Amino acid sequence: MAQTLLKVIGLKVAYGGIQAVKGIDFEVREGELVSLIGSNGAGKTTTMKAITGTLPYGSGDIEFLGKSIKGRGAWDLVGEGLVMVPEGRGVFTRMTITENLQIGAYIRKDKAEIAKDMERVFSTFPRLKERATQLAGTMSGGEQQMLAMGRALMARPKVLLLDEPSMGLSPIMVDKIFEVVKQVYDQGVTVLLVEQNASRALGLADRGYVMESGLITMSGDAKVMLKDPKVRAAYLGE
């Protein structure tokens, strides 16, 4: 069995006085694409913020590469390979595409390898290469999402966390983003995908978890979950 890279154990997180995450357990193993699905307000983004060190958690624990990350800063975790593409993309709007990608590699010193990774990102996202000198703020939402993913890949993630990558995008761009997620996964990157679009997320994933009101209510093989009547009724409108 593949090594467990990320393990969430009995995690509880309070956010603005509300218990947003109420004691959840899940794991992501090396080489997997794991989807965490659930409706808006289920606690998915809060969970992602706790995993990346941007929101302190109360009880329970999160282990990355077999060690607790409690109290560690986000910058520190990025250096170890825990990298997130945040909801809303968070690109640096007044910087060019190339500058945004370079920022993704700011913790690295291996210039030759950084240059190779830049080329790899440009081959994965040809649209970024065409517009390398364009300011990120002038791009469409879908293009900014590609840039945010490219920037994260420049950090050479061991686990890539994607928080709602399809949110607010046109149907054509949603197709493109999911194609790119598959491409990144096929390149051997381990992915934790948080997504409201349950059918697309489970269609791509190896395993899935359903989150409702701060709790994990279902988990299993993603393709089996996709056929589950409860999942279909709750998330696929059937």
pTM recorded for the entire structure: 0.92
Q: In what order do the strands lie in the sheet with 33-37?
A: 82-85, 159-163, 190-195, 33-37, 207-212, 215-221
- Split into its structural domains, the chain has a count of 1
Tens digits of per-residue pLDDT, 152-188? 999 999 999 999 998 888 899 899 899 989 999 998 9
Beta carbons of 34 and 204 less than 8 angstroms apart: no
pLDDT for 15 equals 80
Q: Which of 30-39, 167-176, 228-237 has the lowest mean pLDDT?
A: 228-237
Q: How far is CA 144 from the centre of its chain?
A: 15
CATH of the domain at 43: 3.40.50.300
Beta carbons of 177 and 169 less than 8 angstroms apart: yes
Give me the domain span that covers residue 204: 4-235
Looking at residue 3, the DSSP 8-state letter turns out to be: P
Beta carbons of 50 and 14 less than 8 angstroms apart: no
